[in-house]
Structure 1
Amino acid sequence: MKQLLDTTKLGTRTGGGNHGRVVEGIGRAIVSGDLAEGELLPRDEVLIEQFGVSRTVLREAMKTLAAKGMVVAKARVGTRVRPSREWNMFDAQLLHWHMDGEPSDDFYRQLFEMRLAFEPFAARLAAQKATATDLERLDACVAAMRSAKDQAGFSVSDMDFHRAVFDAAGNAFFQSVVSLVGAALLSLLRRSSPEPRPEQLKQICDGHQLIADAIAARDPLAAQNAMIAVIDVGWSRVFGDTAGPPRPQR
Protein backbone atom coordinates (compact mmCIF):
# COMPACT_ATOMS: atom_id res chain seq x y z
CA MET A 1 0.00 0.00 0.00
CA LYS A 2 1.29 3.44 -0.90
CA GLN A 3 2.63 5.64 1.86
CA LEU A 4 1.07 9.05 1.21
CA LEU A 5 2.45 10.98 4.17
CA ASP A 6 5.85 12.00 2.82
CA THR A 7 7.00 14.74 5.16
CA THR A 8 9.91 15.62 2.86
CA LYS A 9 7.38 17.02 0.38
CA LEU A 10 5.08 18.91 2.69
CA GLY A 11 7.20 22.07 2.86
CA THR A 12 6.13 24.93 5.09
CA ARG A 13 2.65 25.60 3.71
CA THR A 14 0.85 22.67 5.35
CA GLY A 15 -1.17 24.69 7.88
CA GLY A 16 -4.57 23.65 9.14
CA GLY A 17 -3.28 21.04 11.60
CA ASN A 18 -4.26 17.44 10.92
CA HIS A 19 -6.72 18.45 8.23
CA GLY A 20 -3.98 20.33 6.38
CA ARG A 21 -1.57 17.39 6.62
CA VAL A 22 -4.08 15.04 5.03
CA VAL A 23 -4.99 17.48 2.25
CA GLU A 24 -1.31 18.15 1.51
CA GLY A 25 -0.28 14.50 1.61
CA ILE A 26 -3.01 13.22 -0.66
CA GLY A 27 -3.10 16.32 -2.88
CA ARG A 28 0.62 16.18 -3.57
CA ALA A 29 0.44 12.43 -4.23
CA ILE A 30 -2.23 13.06 -6.86
CA VAL A 31 -0.39 15.93 -8.56
CA SER A 32 2.89 13.98 -8.64
CA GLY A 33 1.19 10.94 -10.14
CA ASP A 34 1.85 8.71 -7.14
CA LEU A 35 -1.93 8.40 -7.14
CA ALA A 36 -2.86 8.17 -10.80
CA GLU A 37 -5.94 9.54 -12.50
CA GLY A 38 -8.77 7.06 -12.14
CA GLU A 39 -7.07 5.23 -9.28
CA LEU A 40 -8.94 4.39 -6.09
CA LEU A 41 -7.48 5.86 -2.92
CA PRO A 42 -6.57 3.45 -0.12
CA ARG A 43 -9.45 2.53 2.18
CA ASP A 44 -10.35 4.97 4.95
CA GLU A 45 -8.93 2.68 7.61
CA VAL A 46 -5.56 2.67 5.87
CA LEU A 47 -5.48 6.45 5.47
CA ILE A 48 -6.53 6.98 9.09
CA GLU A 49 -3.62 4.83 10.21
CA GLN A 50 -1.11 6.44 7.83
CA PHE A 51 -1.96 10.01 8.81
CA GLY A 52 -2.83 9.32 12.43
CA VAL A 53 -6.12 11.23 12.25
CA SER A 54 -9.75 10.63 13.08
CA ARG A 55 -12.39 9.58 10.58
CA THR A 56 -13.95 13.04 10.89
CA VAL A 57 -10.68 14.76 9.93
CA LEU A 58 -10.23 12.41 6.97
CA ARG A 59 -13.78 13.05 5.80
CA GLU A 60 -13.31 16.83 5.92
CA ALA A 61 -10.01 16.55 4.05
CA MET A 62 -11.71 14.54 1.31
CA LYS A 63 -14.36 17.25 1.03
CA THR A 64 -11.59 19.81 0.52
CA LEU A 65 -9.96 17.72 -2.21
CA ALA A 66 -13.35 17.13 -3.84
CA ALA A 67 -13.95 20.88 -3.90
CA LYS A 68 -10.69 21.23 -5.84
CA GLY A 69 -12.06 18.76 -8.39
CA MET A 70 -9.37 16.19 -7.58
CA VAL A 71 -11.37 13.28 -6.14
CA VAL A 72 -14.89 11.90 -6.23
CA ALA A 73 -16.43 9.52 -3.70
CA LYS A 74 -18.99 6.86 -4.58
CA ALA A 75 -20.89 4.70 -2.13
CA ARG A 76 -19.70 1.09 -1.95
CA VAL A 77 -16.91 1.90 -4.42
CA GLY A 78 -14.54 4.30 -2.68
CA THR A 79 -12.83 7.58 -3.48
CA ARG A 80 -11.30 7.86 -6.92
CA VAL A 81 -8.85 10.36 -8.42
CA ARG A 82 -10.57 12.47 -11.07
CA PRO A 83 -8.99 13.23 -14.47
CA SER A 84 -6.65 16.22 -14.33
CA ARG A 85 -8.79 18.09 -16.86
CA GLU A 86 -11.45 18.31 -14.12
CA TRP A 87 -9.15 19.82 -11.49
CA ASN A 88 -9.62 23.45 -10.51
CA MET A 89 -6.40 24.89 -11.88
CA PHE A 90 -7.26 28.31 -10.44
CA ASP A 91 -6.96 26.86 -6.93
CA ALA A 92 -3.89 28.45 -5.33
CA GLN A 93 -2.92 25.38 -3.29
CA LEU A 94 -3.20 23.06 -6.28
CA LEU A 95 -1.00 25.38 -8.32
CA HIS A 96 1.60 25.43 -5.55
CA TRP A 97 1.69 21.63 -5.61
CA HIS A 98 2.39 21.75 -9.34
CA MET A 99 5.12 24.37 -8.94
CA ASP A 100 6.81 22.53 -6.06
CA GLY A 101 7.29 19.54 -8.33
CA GLU A 102 8.59 19.55 -11.89
CA PRO A 103 5.86 20.96 -14.14
CA SER A 104 5.61 19.23 -17.50
CA ASP A 105 6.00 20.91 -20.87
CA ASP A 106 2.27 20.43 -21.33
CA PHE A 107 1.62 22.41 -18.14
CA TYR A 108 3.68 25.29 -19.50
CA ARG A 109 2.03 25.05 -22.93
CA GLN A 110 -1.35 25.46 -21.31
CA LEU A 111 -0.08 28.47 -19.36
CA PHE A 112 1.06 30.08 -22.61
CA GLU A 113 -2.34 29.40 -24.15
CA MET A 114 -4.02 31.04 -21.16
CA ARG A 115 -1.71 34.04 -21.46
CA LEU A 116 -2.60 34.38 -25.13
CA ALA A 117 -6.29 34.27 -24.25
CA PHE A 118 -6.11 37.01 -21.60
CA GLU A 119 -3.07 39.26 -21.88
CA PRO A 120 -3.42 40.75 -25.38
CA PHE A 121 -6.96 41.90 -24.62
CA ALA A 122 -5.83 43.20 -21.23
CA ALA A 123 -3.24 45.28 -23.09
CA ARG A 124 -5.99 46.62 -25.37
CA LEU A 125 -8.05 47.66 -22.36
CA ALA A 126 -5.02 49.19 -20.69
CA ALA A 127 -4.48 51.38 -23.75
CA GLN A 128 -7.99 52.72 -23.23
CA LYS A 129 -8.09 52.96 -19.44
CA ALA A 130 -4.56 53.41 -18.07
CA THR A 131 -4.00 56.35 -15.75
CA ALA A 132 -0.86 58.44 -15.54
CA THR A 133 0.13 56.41 -12.48
CA ASP A 134 -0.32 53.19 -14.46
CA LEU A 135 1.93 54.49 -17.23
CA GLU A 136 4.64 55.46 -14.76
CA ARG A 137 4.44 52.02 -13.19
CA LEU A 138 4.84 50.27 -16.55
CA ASP A 139 7.92 52.33 -17.40
CA ALA A 140 9.35 51.66 -13.93
CA CYS A 141 8.89 47.91 -14.42
CA VAL A 142 10.78 48.00 -17.72
CA ALA A 143 13.55 50.03 -16.08
CA ALA A 144 13.76 47.43 -13.30
CA MET A 145 14.03 44.69 -15.91
CA ARG A 146 16.88 46.53 -17.64
CA SER A 147 18.78 46.97 -14.37
CA ALA A 148 18.22 43.43 -13.06
CA LYS A 149 21.43 41.69 -11.99
CA ASP A 150 20.30 38.09 -12.39
CA GLN A 151 17.60 35.90 -13.90
CA ALA A 152 15.54 35.76 -10.70
CA GLY A 153 15.41 39.53 -10.38
CA PHE A 154 14.64 39.90 -14.07
CA SER A 155 11.70 37.48 -13.93
CA VAL A 156 10.23 39.17 -10.83
CA SER A 157 10.31 42.54 -12.60
CA ASP A 158 8.87 40.87 -15.70
CA MET A 159 5.99 39.52 -13.62
CA ASP A 160 5.48 42.95 -12.06
CA PHE A 161 5.12 44.40 -15.56
CA HIS A 162 2.44 41.92 -16.60
CA ARG A 163 0.60 42.44 -13.33
CA ALA A 164 0.74 46.20 -13.99
CA VAL A 165 -0.86 45.67 -17.41
CA PHE A 166 -3.70 43.71 -15.83
CA ASP A 167 -4.15 46.41 -13.20
CA ALA A 168 -4.17 49.12 -15.87
CA ALA A 169 -6.89 47.22 -17.74
CA GLY A 170 -9.20 48.07 -14.86
CA ASN A 171 -11.03 44.73 -14.88
CA ALA A 172 -11.44 42.99 -11.53
CA PHE A 173 -11.75 39.58 -13.17
CA PHE A 174 -8.36 39.94 -14.87
CA GLN A 175 -6.82 41.02 -11.58
CA SER A 176 -8.25 37.96 -9.87
CA VAL A 177 -6.85 35.67 -12.56
CA VAL A 178 -3.31 37.02 -12.28
CA SER A 179 -3.48 36.84 -8.48
CA LEU A 180 -4.55 33.20 -8.55
CA VAL A 181 -2.03 32.01 -11.12
CA GLY A 182 0.75 34.40 -10.16
CA ALA A 183 3.05 31.68 -8.82
CA ALA A 184 2.66 29.58 -11.95
CA LEU A 185 3.20 32.56 -14.23
CA LEU A 186 6.30 33.57 -12.29
CA SER A 187 7.71 30.07 -12.74
CA LEU A 188 6.96 30.29 -16.45
CA LEU A 189 8.64 33.69 -16.74
CA ARG A 190 11.69 32.40 -14.90
CA ARG A 191 11.91 29.55 -17.36
CA SER A 192 11.51 31.84 -20.37
CA SER A 193 13.52 34.82 -19.10
CA PRO A 194 17.01 35.09 -20.51
CA GLU A 195 20.24 34.66 -18.69
CA PRO A 196 21.70 38.13 -18.10
CA ARG A 197 23.38 38.45 -21.52
CA PRO A 198 23.09 42.01 -22.84
CA GLU A 199 21.61 41.20 -26.24
CA GLN A 200 18.92 38.95 -24.76
CA LEU A 201 18.05 41.36 -22.01
CA LYS A 202 17.68 44.14 -24.56
CA GLN A 203 15.41 42.08 -26.81
CA ILE A 204 13.00 41.24 -24.00
CA CYS A 205 13.08 44.70 -22.45
CA ASP A 206 12.52 46.41 -25.79
CA GLY A 207 9.49 44.21 -26.40
CA HIS A 208 8.00 45.18 -23.06
CA GLN A 209 8.74 48.85 -23.72
CA LEU A 210 6.78 48.59 -26.97
CA ILE A 211 3.78 47.44 -24.94
CA ALA A 212 4.18 50.32 -22.49
CA ASP A 213 4.61 52.83 -25.32
CA ALA A 214 1.53 51.59 -27.17
CA ILE A 215 -0.53 51.82 -23.99
CA ALA A 216 0.77 55.35 -23.39
CA ALA A 217 -0.09 56.26 -27.01
CA ARG A 218 -3.66 55.01 -26.46
CA ASP A 219 -3.23 52.57 -29.35
CA PRO A 220 -5.17 49.39 -28.41
CA LEU A 221 -4.24 47.39 -31.52
CA ALA A 222 -0.53 48.17 -31.19
CA ALA A 223 -0.65 47.26 -27.49
CA GLN A 224 -2.37 43.96 -28.29
CA ASN A 225 0.12 43.07 -31.02
CA ALA A 226 3.11 44.03 -28.88
CA MET A 227 1.84 41.76 -26.11
CA ILE A 228 1.38 38.87 -28.55
CA ALA A 229 4.94 39.39 -29.77
CA VAL A 230 6.28 39.23 -26.20
CA ILE A 231 4.35 36.02 -25.53
CA ASP A 232 5.70 34.53 -28.77
CA VAL A 233 9.28 35.35 -27.75
CA GLY A 234 8.74 33.67 -24.40
CA TRP A 235 7.33 30.61 -26.15
CA SER A 236 10.37 30.39 -28.44
CA ARG A 237 12.72 30.55 -25.46
CA VAL A 238 10.93 27.72 -23.67
CA PHE A 239 10.15 25.41 -26.57
CA GLY A 240 12.75 26.37 -29.16
CA ASP A 241 10.42 27.26 -32.02
CA THR A 242 9.16 30.61 -33.26
CA ALA A 243 5.58 29.70 -34.10
CA GLY A 244 4.24 30.79 -30.74
CA PRO A 245 1.28 29.28 -28.89
CA PRO A 246 -1.43 27.84 -31.16
CA ARG A 247 -4.08 30.35 -32.20
CA PRO A 248 -7.75 29.53 -32.74
CA GLN A 249 -8.48 29.15 -36.43
CA ARG A 250 -10.61 31.89 -37.93
Structure 2
Amino acid sequence: MTFRIKLITLLIFTITISLFIYNQWSMSLTPSEVAVKPHLEKITDTSEPVIENILVKNDREFLEKLAHEHPIDNINKQDKIEVVLNKSFKRMHAMSSYFNGQSLQRKELQELLQDPEKLDMAKSILLNFELTKVNFAEDQALARVYAIKMLAETTREGDSSVVYEVTTQLAEQLDQQVQQGLTIQQGREYDLDSLLDIAINQAEINELTDPNNIEYLLFELGYKDDMSTELVQRYDNAVFFPLLKIHGREKASEMVAQVITNN
Protein backbone atom coordinates (compact mmCIF):
# COMPACT_ATOMS: atom_id res chain seq x y z
CA MET A 1 0.00 0.00 0.00
CA THR A 2 2.82 2.37 0.92
CA PHE A 3 4.46 1.73 -2.47
CA ARG A 4 1.24 2.58 -4.31
CA ILE A 5 0.86 5.82 -2.38
CA LYS A 6 4.43 6.80 -3.22
CA LEU A 7 3.88 5.97 -6.91
CA ILE A 8 0.67 8.02 -7.09
CA THR A 9 2.38 10.92 -5.31
CA LEU A 10 5.26 10.78 -7.80
CA LEU A 11 2.87 10.83 -10.77
CA ILE A 12 0.95 13.80 -9.38
CA PHE A 13 4.22 15.64 -8.77
CA THR A 14 5.44 14.93 -12.33
CA ILE A 15 2.18 16.12 -13.89
CA THR A 16 2.21 19.28 -11.77
CA ILE A 17 5.77 20.14 -12.79
CA SER A 18 4.95 19.50 -16.48
CA LEU A 19 1.92 21.78 -16.35
CA PHE A 20 3.94 24.47 -14.63
CA ILE A 21 6.67 24.34 -17.31
CA TYR A 22 4.10 24.41 -20.12
CA ASN A 23 2.32 27.43 -18.63
CA GLN A 24 5.61 29.26 -18.22
CA TRP A 25 6.49 28.54 -21.87
CA SER A 26 3.07 29.68 -23.06
CA MET A 27 3.36 32.94 -21.12
CA SER A 28 6.77 33.60 -22.68
CA LEU A 29 5.50 33.41 -26.28
CA THR A 30 5.46 36.57 -28.34
CA PRO A 31 2.11 37.64 -29.88
CA SER A 32 3.18 36.31 -33.30
CA GLU A 33 4.19 32.98 -31.79
CA VAL A 34 0.85 32.78 -30.00
CA ALA A 35 -0.90 33.35 -33.33
CA VAL A 36 0.85 30.50 -35.12
CA LYS A 37 0.76 28.09 -32.18
CA PRO A 38 -2.57 26.46 -33.19
CA HIS A 39 -1.26 25.97 -36.75
CA LEU A 40 1.94 24.39 -35.49
CA GLU A 41 -0.05 22.01 -33.32
CA LYS A 42 -2.20 21.08 -36.32
CA ILE A 43 0.81 20.46 -38.58
CA THR A 44 2.55 18.28 -36.01
CA ASP A 45 -0.58 16.17 -35.72
CA THR A 46 0.21 13.09 -37.82
CA SER A 47 -3.36 11.90 -38.14
CA GLU A 48 -4.41 10.89 -41.64
CA PRO A 49 -6.98 13.67 -42.23
CA VAL A 50 -4.31 16.32 -41.66
CA ILE A 51 -1.89 14.57 -44.03
CA GLU A 52 -4.64 14.35 -46.62
CA ASN A 53 -5.38 18.05 -46.20
CA ILE A 54 -1.73 18.92 -46.74
CA LEU A 55 -1.60 16.80 -49.91
CA VAL A 56 -4.80 18.38 -51.21
CA LYS A 57 -3.39 21.82 -50.48
CA ASN A 58 -0.11 21.00 -52.24
CA ASP A 59 -2.04 19.61 -55.17
CA ARG A 60 -4.17 22.73 -55.43
CA GLU A 61 -1.18 25.07 -55.13
CA PHE A 62 0.74 23.20 -57.81
CA LEU A 63 -2.18 23.18 -60.24
CA GLU A 64 -2.76 26.89 -59.66
CA LYS A 65 0.91 27.60 -60.37
CA LEU A 66 0.79 25.41 -63.48
CA ALA A 67 -2.34 27.16 -64.72
CA HIS A 68 -0.65 30.52 -64.20
CA GLU A 69 2.70 29.70 -65.82
CA HIS A 70 1.46 27.31 -68.53
CA PRO A 71 -2.27 27.98 -69.00
CA ILE A 72 -4.08 25.32 -70.98
CA ASP A 73 -6.08 28.08 -72.68
CA ASN A 74 -2.82 29.39 -74.09
CA ILE A 75 -2.53 26.27 -76.23
CA ASN A 76 -4.46 27.57 -79.20
CA LYS A 77 -5.88 24.72 -81.25
CA GLN A 78 -5.63 26.96 -84.32
CA ASP A 79 -1.85 27.25 -84.01
CA LYS A 80 0.46 25.15 -86.14
CA ILE A 81 0.86 21.64 -84.77
CA GLU A 82 4.49 22.22 -83.83
CA VAL A 83 3.49 25.32 -81.83
CA VAL A 84 0.74 23.42 -80.01
CA LEU A 85 3.14 20.58 -79.23
CA ASN A 86 5.87 22.91 -78.03
CA LYS A 87 3.49 24.59 -75.59
CA SER A 88 2.15 21.22 -74.45
CA PHE A 89 5.65 19.81 -74.00
CA LYS A 90 6.68 22.77 -71.84
CA ARG A 91 3.53 22.39 -69.78
CA MET A 92 4.25 18.68 -69.24
CA HIS A 93 7.88 19.41 -68.44
CA ALA A 94 6.72 21.74 -65.68
CA MET A 95 4.91 18.75 -64.16
CA SER A 96 8.13 16.73 -63.86
CA SER A 97 9.05 18.05 -60.42
CA TYR A 98 5.61 17.32 -58.99
CA PHE A 99 5.06 14.11 -57.02
CA ASN A 100 1.98 13.28 -59.09
CA GLY A 101 3.55 14.56 -62.30
CA GLN A 102 3.54 11.29 -64.24
CA SER A 103 -0.19 10.87 -63.85
CA LEU A 104 -0.81 14.43 -65.02
CA GLN A 105 1.55 13.99 -67.96
CA ARG A 106 -0.22 10.84 -69.10
CA LYS A 107 -3.53 12.68 -69.24
CA GLU A 108 -1.96 15.38 -71.41
CA LEU A 109 -0.28 12.79 -73.64
CA GLN A 110 -3.54 10.94 -74.14
CA GLU A 111 -5.21 14.20 -75.09
CA LEU A 112 -2.51 14.91 -77.70
CA LEU A 113 -2.81 11.40 -79.13
CA GLN A 114 -6.46 11.98 -79.94
CA ASP A 115 -5.18 13.85 -83.00
CA PRO A 116 -3.38 11.59 -85.53
CA GLU A 117 -1.55 14.60 -86.96
CA LYS A 118 0.12 15.22 -83.61
CA LEU A 119 1.31 11.62 -83.52
CA ASP A 120 2.70 12.04 -87.04
CA MET A 121 4.50 15.16 -85.86
CA ALA A 122 5.97 13.25 -82.92
CA LYS A 123 7.37 10.70 -85.37
CA SER A 124 8.76 13.50 -87.54
CA ILE A 125 10.43 15.13 -84.53
CA LEU A 126 12.51 11.99 -84.06
CA LEU A 127 13.17 11.17 -87.70
CA ASN A 128 13.61 14.57 -89.34
CA PHE A 129 16.25 16.19 -87.18
CA GLU A 130 16.91 19.20 -89.40
CA LEU A 131 13.22 20.09 -89.53
CA THR A 132 12.94 19.61 -85.77
CA LYS A 133 15.71 22.16 -85.25
CA VAL A 134 13.81 24.62 -87.45
CA ASN A 135 10.43 24.03 -85.81
CA PHE A 136 11.56 23.89 -82.19
CA ALA A 137 14.87 25.79 -82.21
CA GLU A 138 16.41 25.71 -78.71
CA ASP A 139 13.57 23.46 -77.55
CA GLN A 140 14.44 20.66 -80.00
CA ALA A 141 15.89 18.40 -77.28
CA LEU A 142 12.79 18.88 -75.13
CA ALA A 143 10.62 18.12 -78.16
CA ARG A 144 12.44 14.84 -78.75
CA VAL A 145 12.03 13.80 -75.11
CA TYR A 146 8.28 14.33 -75.17
CA ALA A 147 7.85 12.91 -78.66
CA ILE A 148 9.31 9.70 -77.22
CA LYS A 149 6.86 9.94 -74.32
CA MET A 150 4.02 10.20 -76.83
CA LEU A 151 5.21 7.05 -78.57
CA ALA A 152 5.63 5.30 -75.22
CA GLU A 153 2.03 6.13 -74.38
CA THR A 154 0.81 4.48 -77.59
CA THR A 155 2.69 1.35 -76.50
CA ARG A 156 1.09 1.42 -73.04
CA GLU A 157 -2.27 1.65 -74.76
CA GLY A 158 -1.49 -1.57 -76.62
CA ASP A 159 -0.13 -0.38 -79.98
CA SER A 160 3.60 -1.06 -80.31
CA SER A 161 3.68 -0.64 -84.08
CA VAL A 162 4.55 3.07 -83.98
CA VAL A 163 7.52 2.51 -81.67
CA TYR A 164 8.74 -0.36 -83.85
CA GLU A 165 8.40 1.75 -86.99
CA VAL A 166 10.23 4.79 -85.62
CA THR A 167 12.93 2.69 -83.93
CA THR A 168 13.69 0.87 -87.18
CA GLN A 169 13.89 4.07 -89.23
CA LEU A 170 15.97 5.92 -86.64
CA ALA A 171 18.41 3.01 -86.34
CA GLU A 172 18.82 2.97 -90.11
CA GLN A 173 19.52 6.71 -90.20
CA LEU A 174 22.08 6.56 -87.40
CA ASP A 175 23.79 3.50 -88.84
CA GLN A 176 24.19 5.23 -92.20
CA GLN A 177 25.78 8.23 -90.49
CA VAL A 178 28.24 6.06 -88.57
CA GLN A 179 29.06 3.97 -91.65
CA GLN A 180 29.84 7.21 -93.51
CA GLY A 181 32.15 8.37 -90.73
CA LEU A 182 29.78 11.12 -89.60
CA THR A 183 29.04 12.10 -86.01
CA ILE A 184 25.54 11.38 -84.75
CA GLN A 185 23.81 14.71 -84.15
CA GLN A 186 23.26 15.96 -80.61
CA GLY A 187 22.52 12.78 -78.73
CA ARG A 188 20.10 11.12 -81.14
CA GLU A 189 21.68 7.79 -80.22
CA TYR A 190 20.06 8.22 -76.80
CA ASP A 191 16.71 8.60 -78.55
CA LEU A 192 17.34 5.16 -80.03
CA ASP A 193 18.24 3.78 -76.60
CA SER A 194 14.98 5.09 -75.16
CA LEU A 195 12.88 3.64 -77.96
CA LEU A 196 14.57 0.25 -77.66
CA ASP A 197 13.97 0.25 -73.90
CA ILE A 198 10.29 1.07 -74.40
CA ALA A 199 9.78 -1.70 -76.94
CA ILE A 200 11.77 -4.41 -75.17
CA ASN A 201 10.41 -3.67 -71.70
CA GLN A 202 6.90 -3.84 -73.11
CA ALA A 203 7.55 -7.23 -74.73
CA GLU A 204 5.77 -10.30 -73.43
CA ILE A 205 7.83 -12.41 -71.06
CA ASN A 206 7.77 -15.37 -73.46
CA GLU A 207 9.50 -13.20 -76.05
CA LEU A 208 12.47 -12.96 -73.71
CA THR A 209 12.80 -16.63 -72.84
CA ASP A 210 13.58 -18.06 -76.27
CA PRO A 211 16.57 -16.87 -78.36
CA ASN A 212 14.49 -17.28 -81.52
CA ASN A 213 11.88 -14.89 -80.17
CA ILE A 214 14.57 -12.43 -79.09
CA GLU A 215 16.12 -12.55 -82.55
CA TYR A 216 12.75 -11.89 -84.16
CA LEU A 217 12.06 -9.03 -81.75
CA LEU A 218 15.38 -7.33 -82.49
CA PHE A 219 14.95 -7.63 -86.24
CA GLU A 220 11.46 -6.14 -85.88
CA LEU A 221 13.18 -3.23 -84.14
CA GLY A 222 15.58 -2.65 -87.01
CA TYR A 223 18.58 -4.73 -85.97
CA LYS A 224 20.79 -6.00 -88.81
CA ASP A 225 23.84 -8.23 -88.69
CA ASP A 226 25.88 -5.82 -90.81
CA MET A 227 25.26 -2.79 -88.62
CA SER A 228 28.13 -0.68 -87.33
CA THR A 229 29.67 -1.79 -84.05
CA GLU A 230 28.31 1.28 -82.26
CA LEU A 231 24.72 0.49 -83.21
CA VAL A 232 25.13 -3.23 -82.51
CA GLN A 233 26.33 -2.40 -78.99
CA ARG A 234 23.19 -0.39 -78.34
CA TYR A 235 20.97 -3.29 -79.33
CA ASP A 236 23.14 -5.59 -77.23
CA ASN A 237 22.73 -3.40 -74.14
CA ALA A 238 19.02 -2.91 -74.72
CA VAL A 239 18.26 -6.63 -74.70
CA PHE A 240 20.93 -7.78 -72.23
CA PHE A 241 19.69 -5.97 -69.13
CA PRO A 242 16.07 -7.19 -69.31
CA LEU A 243 17.42 -10.72 -69.85
CA LEU A 244 19.74 -10.26 -66.89
CA LYS A 245 16.76 -9.63 -64.61
CA ILE A 246 15.02 -12.78 -65.82
CA HIS A 247 17.85 -15.27 -66.32
CA GLY A 248 20.93 -13.99 -64.50
CA ARG A 249 24.21 -12.79 -66.02
CA GLU A 250 25.57 -16.07 -67.39
CA LYS A 251 22.38 -17.17 -69.12
CA ALA A 252 21.66 -13.65 -70.39
CA SER A 253 25.14 -13.36 -71.92
CA GLU A 254 24.72 -16.75 -73.56
CA MET A 255 21.34 -15.84 -75.06
CA VAL A 256 22.56 -12.49 -76.40
CA ALA A 257 25.60 -14.18 -77.97
CA GLN A 258 23.27 -16.52 -79.87
CA VAL A 259 21.39 -13.58 -81.35
CA ILE A 260 24.03 -10.87 -81.79
CA THR A 261 26.94 -12.63 -83.39
CA ASN A 262 29.03 -9.74 -84.72
CA ASN A 263 29.64 -7.92 -81.43
Give the TM-score of the pair, scaled to structure 1: 0.32
> Structure 2 length as normaliser, TM-score?
0.31
Q: Radius of gyration: which is bigger? A: 2
Structure showing the higher helix proportion among its residues: 2
* Larger relative contact order (Cα-Cα within 8 Å, sequence gap ≥ 6): 1
